[in-house]
Structure 1
Amino acid sequence: MSGHSKWATIKHKKGAADAKRAKVFAKLIKQVEVAARQGGGDVDANPTLRTMYQKARDNSVPLDTIERAVKRGTGELEGVNYENIMYEGYAPHGIALMIETLSDNRNRTGSEMRSLLTKNGGSLAEPGAVSWQFERKGVLKVSKEASEDDVMMVGLDNGAEDLQDLEEIWQVICEPTDVNPLRDALEEAGIKVEESDTTMMPTNLVPIADAGDAKAILGLVELLDDHDDVQAIHSNIDLDDSILAELA
């Protein structure tokens, strides 16, 4: 199993164990609203909206709440004008971070990101300093009710690039443009997709073999994730199996 998939395992378990439901809902609703504002309210004509819409549904956001977010995005209802801002930085021990935010105040969010990073052993980087170490990919989390062979067979015919075993789920990697068609193909084959999204995947990993170092890095990531404007955090950390056992 690759280091990135180990990191994803931790995030998956952590999300299932201690997700703050109201905050998760608020972030998902904001993503739907922005997608509708940028590309229109028709999910069939706006792939990004469809992905965000489905992500919200996967996380049990009520349908009427999602629909209101779409209407705020299209201007049918009054809403806040959010801006997509990607911050690049470093956690302790040289771990690269890509921090995706949606903000209604660029100056405030930038200042708060810098403060969180510098107060916790990290630093904010200039645009481009970190992003070259990542590439945008589509990710689908698939129920293990389906066999590896079945998922692979459908996946390979519909754009899947990699299949990872995250213990509790299968994780399928593809190009961002293939997320929705691949999800459709899997579901048409009777395979349950628990969640689909796009992410920034590291091209190279930095191994961390010390539990104290890992806790410092993950502590900063958790603080960033708790910020209302932060939508996703991507890292190039590679955790040793012994560290995974301590963090489990």
Structure 2
Amino acid sequence: MSGHSKWATIKHKKGALDAKRGKIFCKIIKEITVAARMGGGDEETNPRLRTSLLKAKAANMPKDNITRAIKKGCGETDGAIFMELVYEGYGQGGVGLIIEALTDNKNRTSADVKSILNKGGGSLAATGAVSYQFNRKGVITYDLEGNDFEAIFETALEAGAEDVTNDNVIEVICEPSDFEAVLNALEAAGYEHLGAEITMVPDNTIELDEEKTEKLLNLIDKLEDHEDVQSVSSNLA
């Protein structure tokens, strides 16, 4: 049941190669800060912090940046207090969007997200109008080239994964509670991932023609380019 957008994984692979490092660091620092504020600075007892640190590791973030973010979250240093926001919306062809943000200014972020959606041919939706079509899952992606799909499939399932697909990239899907165990098992087996995150995965997907797909992907790019937006999930096929 992957149901995860092949466009998302293609874009994720591309993003891993050409994303702007500074902007990625800024977003991950926010995640680490919020995770430490909510659950403490010990990754052994804070699963959310462990997940954020996995992202930092994948992005090759310097240890000093990570340490400062944890201290800020624990109140050891001064800094902005970030709040979590989730917006639901629609893009071209009625494709559902889940937009997750971390911000120190709710009014600014809400106005910006609404403006980006409107200018890009989308719209905001009422709370619950889109999210019921999604479930939070762990998603780990691997390059098809140079990797043995069958071996990854067996290793992932033995470690607790729900599904493994190979459409453009190898994608491993698991419950958030099994995310760390599955990722660790695949790393121990020597597989280097393209991306690893806990995100919203749709139950079903919507197919669009090429023109609408391009417009929707441009809209998603603009949303993800906003400094406060952490992730955008869609049910685009």
Task: Report the secondary structure of 1:160's partner residue.
Answer: coil
Aligned counterparts of 1:26 and 1:187: Cα–Cα separation in 2: 26
Which residue of structure 2 lines up, in the alignment, with residue 208 of structure 1? Answer: 208
The number of aligned residues is 236
Deviation per CA, 1:109-142: give whole Å up to 9, x if none: 1111111111221111111011011110001224
Which one scores higher on RCO, CA 8 angstroms, separation ≥ 6? 2
Paired letter, 1:196 = A
TM-score (norm: length of structure 2): 0.92
In 2, the alpha carbon distance for the partners of 1:44 and 1:102 equals: 24
Q: 2:153 is matched by which residue type in structure 1?
A: M
Note if 1:68 corresponds to 2:80. no
Contact persistence 1:161–1:174 (CA under 8 A): yes
Deviation at 1:177, TM superposition (A): 0.9
Counterpart position of 1:13: 13
| Matched ranges for 1:1-248 at <5 A | 4-142=4-142, 145-167=146-168, 169-209=169-209, 211-238=210-237
Look up the SS of the partner of 2:86 in the other structure. Answer: strand
Question: Cα gap change, 1:2/1:159 in structure 2, threshold over 3 Å: closer, same or farther?
Answer: closer
SS at match of 2:76: coil
Cα distance, 1:212–1:195 mapped onto 2, change above 3 Å: closer
Alpha-carbon distance between aligned partners in 2 of 1:79 and 1:112, rounded to the nearest angstrom: 23
Q: Secondary structure at the match of 1:71?
A: helix
Report the more deviating stretch, 190-199 or 133-142.
190-199
Runs of 4+ in 1 over 4 A off after TM superposition: 143-146
Distance 2:195 2:16 in 1: 13
Give the conservation status (yes or no) of the 8 Å contact 1:5–1:164. Answer: no
Note the residue ranges of structure 2 that are not aligned, 5 or more in a row: none
Unaligned runs of 5+ in 1: 239-248
Paired residue type of 2:162: E
Normalising by structure 1, report the TM-score: 0.88
Amino acid at match of 1:154: T
More moved, 229-238 vs 148-157: 148-157
Distance 1:153 1:226, change over 3 A: same
C-alpha spacing 1:2/1:157, structure 2 compared with 1 (3 Å): closer
Q: CA RMSD in A?
A: 1.9
